[in-house]
Structure 1
C-alpha cells in the first residue's frame, strides 16, 4: 500500500482480500492474538490495542465468530503461539523505499523469505533505519463515499479530532495523529460510520516513480510475494504507482 493512487491501491487490496480470505484472516488473527497477550486482556473495553485490531478485522470482513474464537484461544493457557514483531527495511527496484512489518514465530524463516523477495526482483534488504526516516506514522481511516455528504463527514471527522481530511470520487480519507487514532475511530464508529480500512500506517514523505515497464512489473511482483507471505502483516512503500496499473 502507498499514499499515492491510494484509492486504486485500497480497491485492489480489497479485491485481493476478497479472493484470499483465508490468508487475510490468518494475518489479522495473529494481530488479534498478539493484541490480547500484549494488552493483557481479551476484553476490548479494557484493551485499546485489541479494540483497534477488532475494527481492522471488521473492515476486512472477518466474521464476528472468527474474532471471538481467536480472542478466546489467545486467552487460553493451551495457546503456545509466540509471535514477535520484526520490521525489515530496504529498497525495491529503482530505489523505492520499502518497509515490511512482520509477526513471526520463526525469525530465521521470515528473514530468509523477506530477503528472497527483495533479491529476486532487484531490490536490496537494508539495515534498520535505512528508509523509515522517509515515512511518518499516521492514523488513516477510509470511508466509502457512496450515500454520504462530504461536508457532514468532514465536520464529524474534525469534531472527533482528525488532523486532516481528503475526498476522492470513491472514498473519504481521514488522517489522525497516531495517539489520536483510537479515539477518532471510536467516535466515528459510534456515529454509525463503517470503514474500508482503519489502521495506523507508515505514510511516505516523498514518492519514487518507475518509468520502465519491466521494472514496474518487478516492483509489483516483489510486493505481491511479500504480501502473500503469512508472516508479513504490512508492506509500506513510496512507489508512485501509475494511475492505471491497478486496472
Structure 2
C-alpha cells in the first residue's frame, strides 16, 4: 500500500490485528508479510480496514541466507540473471547474501 496515504502506526496496527507477521518500509510502499495460510485473511482484513492495496502476491522469504563472495557471487548473479531472462521462468527466489558492492560491480 502507498506510504503517502497512511501512517506507519496505522498500517502496523491494522496489519498485526489482521494476523500479519511483519510490516516493512518498501520505499514508496508499506510491505506486509504473513504466512501463506494467512495470506487471504490478512489481505481481506487490510482492505476492509480501508487501506488501498497496490499489489498482493505470494513470495518466498528465506529462513536462512548463505553469504556468497568473489567468483561464487559473480557466478550466482549470472545464473540468477539467466533464470530471470528465461521466458519459461515465472519467478526466481534465492537465499544468498551478496555484498552490495559486489552486486554493483557485477552490473557494470
Q: 1:242 to 1:229 in 2, by over 3 A?
A: same
State the match for 2:98 in structure 1. Answer: 241
Residue 224 (structure 1) aligned to one of 52, 57, 81: 81
Distance 1:239 1:153, change over 3 A: same
**Higher fraction of strand:** 1
Is 2:53 the counterpart of 1:194? yes
Write the distance in 2 (CA, Å) between the matches of 1:183 and 1:200.
13
Bigger relative CO (Cα 8 Å, ≥ 6 apart)? 1
Q: Give the counterpart of 2:7 among 149, 153, 157.
A: 149
Normalising by structure 2, we get a TM-score of 0.73
Summarize the alignment of residues 100-119 of structure 1 with structure 2, pairs less than 5 Å apart: none
Q: Which runs of 5+ in 2 are unaligned?
A: none
Q: Please state how far the C-alpha of 1:178 moved relative to its aligned partner.
A: 1.1
Q: Which consecutive unaligned segments of at least 5 residues does structure 1 have?
A: 1-142
CA distance in 2, matches of 1:220, 1:144: 30
Residues 20 and 34, structure 2, Cα contact 8 Å, conserved in 1: yes
How many angstroms does 1:202 deviate by?
2.1
TM-score (norm 1): 0.36
Residue by residue over 1:124-146, the C-alpha shift from the partner in whole angstroms, topping out at 9 and shown as x without a partner, is xxxxxxxxxxxxxxxxxxx4434
Stretches of 4+ aligned residues off by more than 6 angstroms: none
Question: Distance between the aligned counterparts of 1:187 and 1:205, measured in 2?
Answer: 26
Give the corresponding residue for 1:160. 18
SS class of match (1:200):
coil
